[in-house]
Amino acid sequence: MKANVTVTLKRGVLDPQGKAIGHALEGLGFDGIGEVRQGKLIEVELAETDRAKAEAALDEMCRKLLANTVIEDYRIEIAE
Amino acid sequence: MKANVTVTLKRGVLDPQGKAIGHALEGLGFDGIGEVRQGKLIEVELAETDRAKAEAALDEMCRKLLANTVIEDYRIEIAE
Amino acid sequence: MSLPQVDITPEIVAEHGLTSDEYKTVLDILGRAPNITELGIFSVMWSEHCSYKSSRVWLKTLPTEGPQVIQGPGENAGVVDIGDGDAAVFKIESHNHPSFIEPYQGAATGVGGIMRDVFTMGARPIANLNALRFGEPAHAKTRHLVSGVVAGIGGYGNCMGIPTVGGEVNFDKAYNGNILVNAMTVGLARTDKIFYSKASGIGNPVVYVGSKTGRDGIHGATMASAEFSEDSEEKRPTVQVGDPFTEKLLLEACLELMATDAIVSIQDMGAAGLTSSSVEMADKGGVGIELELDKVPMREEGMTPYELMLSESQERMLMVLKPGREAEAKAIFDKWELDFAVVGTVTDTGNLTLKWYGETAGEIPVAPLVDASPMYERPWEPTPSSPVVKSEDVASSLSAGAALKKLMASPDLCSRRWIWEQYDHLIGGETVQTPGAADSAIVRLPGKSKALAVTVDCTPRYCLADPITGGAQAVAEAWRNITATGAKPLAITNNMNFGNPERPRIMGQFVGAVKGMSAAAKTLDFPVVSGNVSLYNETNGEAILPTPVIGGVGLIEDAANSVGLGLTETGLILILIGETQGHLGRSIYLRDVVGKDEGAPPPVDLTIERRNGDFVRDLISQKLIAACHDLSDGGLAVAVAEMVLAGGIGATLDAAPPGMGITAWLYGEDQARYLVAVKDEKAVLSAAKAAGVPAHRVGISMGRSLTLPGGDTISLEQLAKTHEAPLPSYMAGETWN
Amino acid sequence: MKAAITVFPGTNRERDMADALERASGTRPTMVWHGERDLSGYDLIVVPGGFSYGDYLRCGAMAGNSPILRAVKEQADRGVTVLGVCNGFQILTETGLLPGVLLRNAGLKFICKMTHIRCEKSAAPFTGKLTQGQVSRVAVAHNEGNYYADDETLDMLEGEGRVVFRYCDDRGNVSDATNLNGSQRNIAGIVNKRGNVLGMMPHPENAIDPMAGGTEGLPIFQSLATAILA
Ligand SMILES: Nc1ncnc2c1ncn2[C@@H]1O[C@H](COP(=O)(O)OP(=O)(O)O)[C@@H](O)[C@H]1O
Ligand SMILES: [Mg+2]
């Protein structure tokens, strides 16, 4: 089973990297750029075949390691 | 308009981060972890309302700045 | 797992970069046609990068010996005796092309590669340096390249925990299409615990450690290997991604194993990976090596023997162990969570034998592979000499003070703080002279009072005008920079960066530089112990400036006696050591203020260089000198400005000597000169007289501003702003004006 | 003083830390490999700087979730003194021993330089030898030193006197201009509620030698030696 975990900064937490990217895009001449935020995408391959079990495991992985819930939100998507 | 750009390392390119995350997950006692790869997620807000134009602009942004096409692939998804 | 069958057509041979003569030699050596794996091995072993085919004849002429030299060129790094059973191990290496393609990863893996060369020999790295050359600031790619390269160098070195303490940066349009990234590492070992690459002991296990092998950087042969699969483009990234975390583990694991006596020999896998490491180890030992390629730890599925032999995956080492020591070694690599695999044995066949699931995948006699590697005496043309520029003919509308401000803010002379603050230069707690504080960085040996002085230098515009003088000047400047801190110069490493050697004019630059370097290294007792050559740095027929970078290492017995360049007290007398003619040809002033890059470079008189330097070092050891700075780019004016900025005390320069124009006096770039700040003027002047060294009082430290002859005065604040602002604001997107 | 220094794969300032502790206390601390599960018997546990696990994913995340950190937590809960410097600070926040997180520097670049910090609170065991308001010149070397916590947490830290160091200039002025990495309220170091766990980004261990970095980092280690030996 394959899963995509996306980890994004919580709203309200400053994202200097996203801001710098927005700035650079404007510098390259792109117009109408609003807010830019940068997050992480983590693709995980799992041996687990039961969808519900996989989701539970992934949720635990996120809480234990993949995301810092003080500042980050996470979203789990099971691909297949 | 809002878009999500995901930037991932090309297949075959070493992903030290992904490797280390996989290793750490195993260390935390998760079983059956296969390959783990880490990528970037960039959320961009655009003033553009025409979908095709937005896509074209995003593609250019990816080639020019967001992705390094020597080692990275990118995918554009327009959210709304 | 059957072996892929590929027909060896003339096209495939050509795509592997072998000429028809070279291919004929391959057929003679093997007595048959090679298979694709063997062809790949010949191709990389005989590439310019590995065989030094254009440069070898000339490199052999460099002086490489001296009582201090323990190991000269020919090993992974040079080794120099620094007393008490300690040795300094160092080398420089280029990663030019990869850094242009992907600046962060290219530079990072360059740093990783040179550190491996040093710790392969049993040395713990204690300092990194880098010499960088970028295109003109206005060029569209320059900013992106600077930012990526600097971040990459920092990213790798910082994570490894090795301080990056020095370097140099130039900008010139000649590098627009070919930037230079040269990285140097200096390490420390015990003289009785140096590790070499010579394999020995028939039957001994050959062991692979480090990262797994992927399809990284299999270059030169992409087309030919496209035969292997459809999606080969995607599978063969030419850019390697650095993994400094794994390399840090590799460093610690190797040093831990080296503390035992289990290792017979060890060699890092750099360019041409498993091929060059196994061939070099076998060749040095006059033995054969059999590799079971299916045992190599692999990162990807379906890898072929061809790919395994040619991969340039980073963070890997090959070792020969003593028999029966495998378990002990494996335990150490397990602890550090690194791959460890016995992949072969030392044999008495003299062949490199490759096995693939029991089948023979290749068999090449090692000695002929190495001995028959091509060596060319490429035709060369000397560089036509340029006329000497008369200083009277040099005119500018800028006043002396305005010119100084312009130079202090120029791309080649402005503050590099933006760069070195991204490098951890303090880790280890031994950086006695930090970047910007002295002419060389000074890094103390842990737990001891002695320290190494390290520097990298080259003045490419001199080399372009006159490669012989330029080559000598690069060596002399490195020697001078070490001397100016009070340290004794010991030996050098060099990185020869040139254009296409098949063009006689370019080959002539190479030859000239080697000649100049040789002469200087001999006269200054500054032998070459290691180095690297990077050729073909040109795009559309536009070659880079000839850039023979010199990395110098010196020793000071007590770090407390080293001097920096900052003026930290008022009332110090400034004394200029050496003779001033006011040579302005090829000076920074002529190029950046007047706008003419012309003329002959300043002559280098090595005997005088040595005499003046020995004198200055002697004064420093007698504690007669409070601050010292060698005169180079920008001459006296720039030197004093840098001393003022580094120490935070102003200075006033006296009038120019009678008969000398103010421009020539302030901005001439005559060699073999030092500006020293002293308390006891009389003692220094009389010592100079006794030694027959020209020495004159030229000013005094005082106040909060710099006053030039003629009265132009610049406040410290203004000077600091002028000097510090340009690079950060350029990097933030401003144009350089 | 019996001190332990935790060593993870990728830790790289453990020797600098050992030198500093030895200089102040006269005894060489013990290096404890991350596989260790039991940290009883130490009076001081130091989590030093470096790039544990390469700082991949997030700085300190992998080390912060490793078993040895459970042992550190146990000892901290028992009142043992714990110091986290740089990567160690990041690890302590990831473990939850200290509140907040360390984000990427506002300038998005690694910063290595000598800087000044002001001591906000003179108290054993970490800052007993410093006076309140005292300015020290110490090194910083980090890419993610930008201290972040929500306002409520920040107000609590201030209210409880738990902000120990702030970035300032050579005269002790705290301003945006002296905030080198974008930290909330210029915070360079904080303690836990009980006062026995300190996390700080700067490296006092690289300011213990008159020849390299100066000696203004030494009082922190002397404070520890005094507090714990006494
Ligand atoms: N310009 C040079 N001057 C002196 N020695 C050199 C020079 N270029 C290369 N060498 C020596 O040739 C050997 C091979 O160099 P290189 O291929 O760069 O080594 P590695 O594969 O270990 O990186 C080394 O011993 C190196 O010191
Ligand atoms: Mg090597």
pLDDT tens for C398-416 read: 999 999 999 999 999 999 9
Instruction: Name residue C651's beta-bridge partners.
Output: C701, C706
Average confidence (pLDDT) over C203-215:
95
Average pLDDT taken over every residue of chain C = 95
> Is C268 part of any known ligand binding site?
yes
User: Scanning the structure block, which residue is given the tokens 């290219």?
Assistant: C106
Closest approach of A70 to chain B, Cα-based (Å): 19
User: Scanning the structure block, which residue is given the tokens 């009678």?
Assistant: C658
Cα distance between residue C698 and residue C674, in whole Å: 12
Contact C306, C214 (CB under 8 A): no
Q: How many CB atoms lie within 10 A of CB A22?
A: 21
- Of B13, B16, B19, nearest to C237 by CB-CB distance is B13
Cα distance between residue C72 and residue D7, in whole Å: 37
Does residue B70 carry a pLDDT above 70? yes
Cα distance between residue D140 and residue D103, in whole Å: 15
> Is C497 part of any known ligand binding site?
no
Give the CATH number for residue A26.
3.30.1280.10
Task: Indicate the SS3 state at residue C150.
Answer: helix
What is the C493 CA–ligand 1 centroid distance (Å)? 9
CA of C316, nearest ligand number: 2
Cα distance between residue C397 and residue D134, in whole Å: 51
Q: Do C151 and D110 touch (CB under 8 A)?
A: yes
Catalytically annotated residues of C:
49, 95
Does residue D203 carry a catalytic annotation? yes
Q: Do B17 and D54 touch (CB under 8 A)?
A: yes
- Give just the sign of the alpha carbon dihedral C704, C705, C709, C710: negative
Ligand 1 atom closest to Cα of residue C280: 21
Does residue C232 carry a pLDDT above 50? no
Average confidence (pLDDT) over C120-125:
98
Domains of chain C (ranges plus CATH)? 1-62+196-373 (3.90.650.10), 400-414+563-737 (3.90.650.10)
* Probe target for ligand 1 pocket from C373, C532, C547, with the most ligand atoms within 8 Å of CB: C532
Average confidence (pLDDT) over C580-594:
98
The residue type of D10 is G
CA of C93, nearest ligand number: 1
> How buried is C549 (Cβ within 10 angstroms: 0-12 exposed, 13-18 middle, 19+ buried)?
buried
Joined together, the tokens standing for residue C433 give: 């002279």
Ligand 1 atom closest to Cα of residue C75: 25
Closest approach of D107 to chain A, Cα-based (Å): 8
Q: Do D108 and A16 touch (CB under 8 A)?
A: yes
What pLDDT score does C224 carry?
33
> How many residue pairs bridge chain C and chain D with CB atoms within 8 Å of each other?
87
Q: Do C159 and D54 touch (CB under 8 A)?
A: yes
Contact B2, A14 (CB under 8 A): no
8-state DSSP, D11: B
- Range(s) of the domain holding residue A22: 2-79
Three-state DSSP string of chain B? CEEEEEEEECCCCCCHHHHHHHHHHHHCCCCCEEEEEEEEEEEEEECCCCHHHHHHHHHHHHHHHHCCCCCEEEEEEECC
Could you give the angle at the alpha carbon of A63 between the alpha carbons of A60 and A66, nearest 5°? Answer: 100
Average confidence (pLDDT) over C172-188:
98
What pLDDT score does C234 carry?
44
**Which of C124, C427, C431 to mutate to test binding with chain D, by most D CBs within 10 Å of its CB?**
C427
Beta carbon of C63 within 6 Å of any ligand 1 atom:
no
Among chain A residues, the shortest Cα distance to B58 is held by A30
What pLDDT score does C239 carry?
75
> Is C7 part of any known ligand binding site?
no
Does residue C54 carry a pLDDT above 50? yes
Domain count, chain B: 1
Strand C180-190 and strand C86-94: the pairing is: antiparallel
pLDDT digits (tens, 9 = 90+) for C300-340: 889 999 999 999 999 999 999 999 999 999 999 999 999 99
Among chain B residues, the shortest Cα distance to D57 is held by B17
Does residue D94 carry a catalytic annotation? no
Mean pLDDT by 10 residues, chain D (230 residues): 95 98 96 94 98 93 92 97 98 96 95 98 97 98 96 97 98 98 98 98 98 97 92
The angle that helices C142-160 and C244-258 make with each other, rounded to 10 degrees, is 40
Contact C601, C461 (CB under 8 A): yes
Q: Do C160 and D12 touch (CB under 8 A)?
A: yes
Of D190 and C372, the structure prediction assigns the larger pLDDT to: D190
pLDDT digits (tens, 9 = 90+) for D109-149: 999 999 999 999 999 999 999 999 999 999 999 999 999 99
- Of C336, C420, C444, nearest to D212 by CB-CB distance is C444
- Of A31, A41, A45, nearest to B39 by CB-CB distance is A41
What pLDDT score does D181 carry?
97
Q: By the CB < 8 Å criterion, does C373 face chain D?
A: no
Q: Do B71 and C237 touch (CB under 8 A)?
A: yes
- Give just the sign of the alpha carbon dihedral A77, A80, B3, B5: positive
Q: How many CB atoms lie within 10 A of CB C728?
A: 15
Is this structure's pTM higher than 0.90? Answer: yes
Strand C542-543 and strand C651-653: the pairing is: unpaired
Residues 6+ apart with CB under 8 A from C673: C576, C577, C578, C579, C580, C612, C630, C631, C636
What is the C59 CA–ligand 1 centroid distance (Å)? 10
Does residue D116 carry a catalytic annotation? no
Residues 6+ apart with CB under 8 A from D73: D95, D97
Domains of chain D (ranges plus CATH)? 3-229 (3.40.50.880)
What whole-number percentage of chain C has pLDDT above 70? 97
What is the C49 CA–ligand 1 centroid distance (Å)? 10
Transcribe C379-422 into DSSP letters: ---PPPPPPPPPGGG---SS-HHHHHHHHHTSTTTS--HHHHTT
Cα distance between residue D179 and residue D186, in whole Å: 5
What whole-number percentage of chain B has pLDDT above 90? 80
Q: Do B42 and A37 touch (CB under 8 A)?
A: yes
Cα distance between residue C41 and residue C43, in whole Å: 5
Beta carbon of C496 within 6 Å of any ligand 1 atom:
yes
Q: Name every chain C residue with its beta carbon within 8 A of the beta carbon of B68.
A: 102
Reported ipTM: the value is 0.92
Q: Do D53 and B24 touch (CB under 8 A)?
A: yes
Does residue C230 carry a pLDDT above 60? no
Task: Indicate the SS3 state at residue C101.
Answer: helix
Position C236 confidence tier, pLDDT thresholds 50, 70, 90: very low
Does residue C226 carry a pLDDT above 60? no
- The region, left, alpha or beta by phi > 0 then psi within -120 to 50, assigned to residue C462 is alpha
- Cα C112 to Cα A25, C118, D111, distances in angstroms: 32, 10, 21
Chain C interface with B: residues with Cβ < 8 Å: 101-102, 105, 211, 214-216, 234-243, 245-246, 299-300, 313-314, 337
Average confidence (pLDDT) over B20-45:
93
Contact C82, C452 (CB under 8 A): yes
What is the C255 CA–ligand 1 centroid distance (Å)? 23
Ligand 1: which residue has its CA nearest to atom 8?
C532
What pLDDT score does C219 carry?
63
What is the C312 CA–ligand 2 centroid distance (Å)? 12
Q: By the CB < 8 Å criterion, does A69 face chain D?
A: no
What pLDDT score does C238 carry?
65
Position C221 confidence tier, pLDDT thresholds 50, 70, 90: very low
Average pLDDT taken over every residue of chain A = 93
* Probe target for ligand 1 pocket from C118, C194, C283, C530, with the most ligand atoms within 8 Å of CB: C530
Q: Do C243 and D213 touch (CB under 8 A)?
A: no
Q: Is the peptide bond before C137 cis (omega within 30 degrees of 0)?
A: no
Cα distance between residue D48 and residue C429, in whole Å: 14
> Is C117 part of any known ligand binding site?
yes
Q: Name every chain A residue with its beta carbon within 8 A of the beta carbon of B10.
A: none
Ligand 1: which residue has its CA nearest to atom 14?
C74
Position C1 confidence tier, pLDDT thresholds 50, 70, 90: low
Transcribe C290-331 into DSSP letters: EEEGGGS-BSSTT--HHHHHH---SSEEEEEE-TT-HHHHHH
Among chain C residues, the shortest Cα distance to D112 is held by C421
Average confidence (pLDDT) over C245-272:
95
8-state DSSP, C174: G
> Is C591 part of any known ligand binding site?
no
Could you give the angle at the alpha carbon of C377 between the alpha carbons of C376 and C378, nearest 5°? Answer: 95
Does residue C227 carry a pLDDT above 70? no
8-state DSSP, C141: T
pLDDT digits (tens, 9 = 90+) for C669-692: 999 999 999 999 999 999 999 999
Question: C605-628: string of b/e by CB count within 10 Å (b at 16+)?
Answer: bbebbbbbbebbbebbeeebbbbb
Does residue C237 carry a pLDDT above 70? no
What is the D82 CA–ligand 1 centroid distance (Å)? 48
Average confidence (pLDDT) over C488-514:
98
**Which of B9, B14, B15, B23 to mutate to test binding with chain D, by most D CBs within 10 Å of its CB?**
B23
What pLDDT score does A79 carry?
84
Joined together, the tokens standing for residue C310 give: 């040619």
Q: Do D57 and B16 touch (CB under 8 A)?
A: no
Catalytic residue among D86, D116, D120, D168: D86
- Of D58, D65, D106, nearest to A16 by CB-CB distance is D106
What pLDDT score does D1 carry?
84
